[in-house]
Amino acid sequence: MPLQTLKIPIPTPNETSSTRSLISVLSLTPHPEGGYFNRTHTNPTTIPSPFPGQIGETRPLSTSIFYLITAHSPIMRFHKNRSSIVHTAVRGRGRYVLIHESGKVETFVVGCDVEGGEVAQWVVEGGLWKASVLEEGAGELLITEVVVPGFDFSDHEFMVKDRLVDIVGLDAAEKLSPLLRS
Ligand code: GUN
């Protein structure tokens, strides 16, 4: 898909009552990337951090979350994690945008309609930049994420404009900049 046709959703003023009910049933809270989340599992086994420069640090073997983007909060902003993350679609439809350090931009539609070509399970390796947007016509995208080793904010980094320009060039960065936090 050419980046020109990437649809950036406009947030609605409020959540619908069915989305509010989903947020409440799953005890989700706002995520700094956009959308909502809840930690559902922290593996009780602890391992030494495998990442460079973190001697003496530990991580849970894995952590899991529900993550939701909605009509009111339809964008997960560009960021990367050191850990690899296994994502599984639970309901709804969205589009993932991945940026490799080489500058290659990859985008695909995620959801549960596997016969219709939606990707129901996808792995984002540590170090890749990722963002997601709600697909037009979808009220929400609910997924699970399993983070290995477990999530820690010190392994997380938001993309900034200058870095985006460096990686993908000025033209692509202009098109992708609505997906930046800053
Ligand atoms: N992203 C993936 N897992 C987590 C988590 O456990 N907490 C936060 N804040 N973000 C995450």
Q: How remote is the CA of residue 151 from the centroid of ligand 1, in Å? A: 6
pLDDT digits (tens, 9 = 90+) for 109-166: 999 999 999 999 999 999 999 999 999 999 999 999 999 999 999 999 999 999 999 9
- Please give the tally of structural domains in the chain: 1
Tell me which residue of 46, 28, 148, 134 sits closest to 87, measured CA to CA. 148
Ligand 1 close to Cβ of residue 64 (< 6 A): no
Per the structure, the complete domain to which residue 15 belongs is given by: 3-179
* DSSP 8-state secondary structure symbol assigned to residue 25: H
Q: Whose CA is nearest to atom 2 of ligand 1?
A: 151
CATH code for the domain of 152: 2.60.120.10
Ligand 1 close to Cβ of residue 145 (< 6 A): yes
Q: Is the pLDDT of residue 1 over 90?
A: no
pLDDT digits (tens, 9 = 90+) for 42-83: 999 999 999 999 999 999 999 999 999 999 999 999 999 999
Give the ipTM of the model, two decimals please. Answer: 0.94
* Atom number of ligand 1 nearest to Cα 65: 3
**Start-end of H helices in the chain:** 17-25, 161-168, 170-176
Tell me the best of 33, 36, 37 to mutate to test the pocket of ligand 1, counting ligand atoms within 8 Å of each CB and taking the most: 37
